[in-house]
Amino acid sequence: MSSSSCNGSPSLNSVPTHGQPLWLLAELTYKCPLQCPYCANPLDFANRNTELTTEEWIKVFEEGRKLGAVQLGFSGGEPLVRQDLVTLISEARRLGYYTNLITSGVGLNERKVAEFRDAGLDHIQVSFQAADESVNNMLAGSQKAFNQKLKMAREVKAQGYPMVLNFVTHRHNIDQIDRIIELCIELEADYVELATCQYYGWAYENRENLLPTRAQLERAERITNEYREKLAAEGNPIKLIFVTPDYYEERPKGCMNGWGQVFLTVTPDGTALPCHSAKMLPIEFPNVRDNSLDHIWNESFGFNHFRGYEWMKEPCRSCDDKEKDFGGCRCQAYMMTGDATNADPVCSKSEHHHLITDARAEAEQPLDSSKMLYRNERNSRVFFSSSEFE
């Protein structure tokens, strides 16, 4: 696929309309003390250039706010690794953002929770790997992770934050969904994300080990619904969010509410993306070091590439559902079919839909105890040393 810089390109007159980047996700660093094999971070994360400086991030936040961004997520990797996090929080808050810290809880302590509060942090999301200590620590690749998370979740509530607890669910923890929900109730979460694993990055590499069976999913969804009713009857305001498992759907998700419509992600080295996985696509994406966010959002080749419907092939092009799901996820189409302009293979109208049904069939097979690939620097290097010679 060709790409070019597009300053003043006349074809831009025909660019379809798009909204404001209401959601700005700042992936501050790819460094992380944990090694979750389901991590959606890029496989070659260790191959990235230098991280943006404090000043560069603040400039991004200022420009984002001017474009209408209001939600700012600090994520990564583990955002707590950044020593300037408290400065970034207070600058973001000063600009009027609602500030979200998305963390594993590892690296957090009572003092930091208070410091962040003083700096204006609005909300903390803590992720867990499981409700069971040994499964949690096995998946995190750390023996101390579970107890640390418990302690920090309690601290976050004690200091008065709204708290989201996030559990990525897959075949190793989904059968304990009742215990997950019980734990979230005990920890007084305000929102619980039962985040069905999305198969990108490390999760795609480990899919065979992670994808649950249809029966597992249906059971989990049923139990979640039973808890919803019970909690509502008790007047408990906790909200359970069950993320739809697209591998068991016949129509794809309306990925990111449409390409370049609401979301803007900036990766640690300053690359701006319409979603956190898009770097894998054979498209050139702009960098905040070279361009203003205004230019990036409104005029760059990368962001305009899949806006509208002109890029579509059949069966999407003539399909009535295209305004609803935009043909699904571009990354999933590319990863699985080799062509990012294809329909997302989750769609039963896609000629590649068998790739999804094959994965479902594979999930029915017993695990051949194959080892999972942990997300760490050493394993990551394998991916960029081989991709350098492409």
- Which residues make up the interface to ligand SAM (CB under 6 A)? 32, 38-41, 75-76, 78, 102-104, 127, 166, 168, 195, 197-198, 200, 203
Q: State yes or no: residue 228 binds ligand SF4 (CB under 6 A).
A: no
349 binds ligand SF4 (CB under 6 A): yes
Tell me if 76 contacts ligand SF4 by CB under 6 A.
yes
Binding ligand SF4 (rule: CB under 6 A), the pick from 64, 79, 270, 328 is: 328
| Residue 292 found at the interface with other proteins (CB under 8 A) | no
70, interface contact from other proteins, ligand SF4, ligand SAM, none, CB < 5-8 Å by kind: other proteins
List the one residue from 29, 41, 196, 332 that touches ligand SF4 (CB under 6 A): 41
Q: Near ligand SF4 by CB under 6 A, which window of 10-18, 130-138, 344-352, 379-387?
A: 344-352
Q: Which residue lies nearer to ligand SF4 by CB, 94 or 317?
A: 317
Number of chain residues interacting with other proteins (CB under 8 A)? 20
CA 1 to centroid of chain Cα atoms: 26
Nearer Cβ to ligand SF4 (302/327): 327
Take residue 351 and report the two structure tokens written for it.
Answer: 């000629």
Among ligand SAM, other proteins, ligand SF4, none, partner that 347 touches (CB below 5 to 8 angstroms by kind): ligand SF4
- Identify residues 225-284 at the interface with other proteins (CB under 8 A): 237
Nearest-approach distance from CB 302 to ligand SAM, in angstroms:
21
Q: With binding defined as CB under 8 A, does residue 8 bind other proteins?
A: no
Interface region with other proteins, contact rule CB under 8 A, candidates 46-54, 122-130, 168-176, 225-233? 122-130
* Shortest Cβ 123–other proteins spacing (Å): 4
Residue 322 lies near ligand SF4 (rule: CB under 6 A): yes
**Is 73 one of the binding residues for other proteins (CB under 8 A)?**
yes
CB of 55 to other proteins, least distance (A): 24
Specify the residue, 319 or 373, whose C-beta has the smaller distance to ligand SAM: 373
- Per the DSSP assignment, residues forming a β-bridge with 242 are 194
Name the nearest CA neighbour of 27 among 41, 37, 38: 41
CA 388 – CA 390 distance, rounded (Å): 6
What string of H, E and C letters represents the secondary structure of the chain? Answer: CCCCCCCCCHHHHHCCCCCCCCEEEEEEECCCCCCCCCCCCCCCHHHCCCCCCHHHHHHHHHHHHHCCCCEEEEEECCHHHCCCHHHHHHHHHHCCCEEEEEECCCCCCHHHHHHHHHHCCCEEEEEECCCCHHHHHHHHCCCCHHHHHHHHHHHHHHCCCCEEEEEEECCCCHHHHHHHHHHHHHCCCCEEEEEECCCCHHHHHCHHHHCCCHHHHHHHHHHHHHHHHHHHHCCCCCEEEECCCHHHCCCCCCHHHCCCCCEEEECCCCEEECCCCHHHCCCCCCECCCCCHHHHHHHCHHHHCCCCCCCCCCCCCCCCCHHHHCCCCHHHHHHHHCCCCCCCCCCCCCCCCHHHHHHHHHHHCCCCCCCCCCCCHHHHHHHHHHHCCC
Residues that bind ligand SF4 (CB under 6 A): 32, 34-36, 39, 41, 76-78, 104, 251-252, 315-316, 319, 321-322, 325, 327-328, 343-344, 347, 349, 375
Footprint of other proteins (CB under 8 A): 20, 22-23, 67-68, 70-71, 73, 96, 98, 100, 122-123, 125, 160, 162, 164, 190-191, 237
